[in-house]
Copies of this chain bind each other. A is one copy, B any other.
Amino acid sequence: MSSVTIYDVAAKAGVSIKTVSRVMNNEPNVRPVMRERVLAAASELGYSPNLSARSLAGSRSFVIAVFVDAALTIDHWQSERGADYLSRIQLGATLVCRDAGYHLLIELIDHEGPQVRQEVAALLAALKPDGVILTPPSSDNAVVLELLDRAGTPYVRVGPERAEGLGPRVHMDDVAAAREMTDHLIGLGHKRIGFIVGEPRYGASQARRDGYLEAMRAKGLSVPEFWVRQGDFTFQSGLEQAKALLALPERPTAIFASNDDMALGAIAAIADAGLMTPGDVSVAGFDDSPSSRFSRPQLTTVRQPVAEMSSVAAKLLIERSRGGASTERPVDELLPFTLIHRASTAPPPR
């Protein structure tokens, strides 16, 4: 109940509270002897500085906030994608925060509607976080970015659609990833490769399609318009669009879906059509979601460095909150993806 304060430690160590403060903050200009004595007293008393007091008195709050879209979370919280993506984001950030003595605050933001401005402003005013990690679609929300800038709160945009000039970002190269996966399929001998596009509201959807198209064209393969189908990241849409592809007179020998859920849908469609994966039709996904390993056959897919992105983001923010000013050039971290070759892709039937 009655917790240990800095005064208690100071008294026990026989120093002033200012010295205790110095020790707790790892400031220089404290003799090792003093430091030891204070540390001993602190640990004996089980002292831990009060965050609110630190935040109120000083310029740091030791809090990193993560902005997550409310509608998205609620709509999609049952889908593989949402849950998985968010967990990974959190894992990366939480680990970094814990090690640095920071704390992670999750905030649901309602991006639709007119109250965003007020909501976010209130949040920033109340919390004064040392940094904010923006997940899509926050990463591209003009209002949010403006308020953050105006409040002077450092932030990092994770996986944003729009390019530089909008503040620090940590992302991966969706175009290259899709291109490489397409190259992989072409390398196996596929020439007729169908593509299922993701939910158009996500920038990643366009990027992945572009990568696919680039790779096809680079190899001189024509891409009839009806090979590129519009999905929405759900299993169901993958199922339907794959069915449509399979119904074509000259059906594709491979299907590349922009995420794993849709790829699983495609595998289901292939099975429903009495065909085999990858014997008759290869399937590639994107995300390396947990279920990509549970499917039969296991899915060839692209692993996104989601946890890594948020952990880099958290590190940047913490570093900055410690270091003080922004001495650096604009941050633009590009993290590597990985192609995961599993069993769902193989050479086309000859």
A contact residues vs B (CB 8 Å cutoff): 1, 3-4, 46-53, 55-56, 61, 70, 73-74, 77-80, 82-84, 86-88, 90-91, 94-95, 98, 103-108, 118, 121-123, 125-128, 151-152, 235, 261, 264-265, 268, 271, 290-291, 293-296, 307
Contacts and interface: CB of A to CB of B under 8 A. Distances in A.
B74 A125 contact: no
A88 B77 contact: yes
22 contacts: A1-B151, A46-B118, A46-B121, A46-B125, A48-B121, A51-B52, A51-B128, A70-B98, A74-B91, A77-B87, A80-B291, A80-B294, A94-B108, A98-B108, A103-B105, A103-B107, A104-B105, A104-B107, A105-B106, A235-B293, A268-B296, A294-B295
A152 B3 CA distance: 11
A87 B68 CA distance: 12
| Chain multiplicity (copies) | 2
Given A46-B121, A80-B290, A83-B84, 14 more contacts: A1-B152, A48-B121, A49-B126, A50-B125, A50-B128, A51-B126, A52-B61, A52-B128, A83-B83, A83-B87, A95-B108, A235-B293, A261-B294, A294-B295
Instruction: Choose among A61, A94, A152 the residue with the greatest number of B CB atoms under 10 Å from its CB.
Output: A94
Contacts of A77: 87-88, 91, 307
A290 B83 contact: yes
A37 to B, nearest CB: 19
Instruction: Choose among A125, A261, A264 the residue with the greatest number of B CB atoms under 10 Å from its CB.
Output: A125
A122 B4 CA distance: 11
A40 B304 CA distance: 47
Nearest to A261: B294
Nearest to A66: B106
Instruction: Choose among A55, A56, A74, A91 the residue with the greatest number of B CB atoms under 10 Å from its CB.
Output: A91
Contacts of A268: 294, 296
A38 B152 CA distance: 27
A55 B61 CA distance: 13
Contacts of A265: 294
B294 A264 contact: yes
A342 to B, nearest CB: 14
Given A56-B50, A61-B52, A103-B105, A271 B296 contact: yes
A79 B291 CA distance: 8
Contacts of A78: 290
A317 to B, nearest CB: 16
A126 B294 contact: no
B103 A127 contact: yes
A48 B79 contact: no
A56 to B, nearest CB: 4
Contacts of A3: 125, 128, 151
Instruction: Choose among A47, A77, A151 the residue with the greatest number of B CB atoms under 10 Å from its CB.
Output: A77
Given A53-B56, A293-B235, A294-B264, A106 B94 contact: yes
Contacts of A128: 3, 50-52
A106 B107 contact: no
Given A83-B87, A108-B94, A48 B126 contact: yes
A21 to B, nearest CB: 15
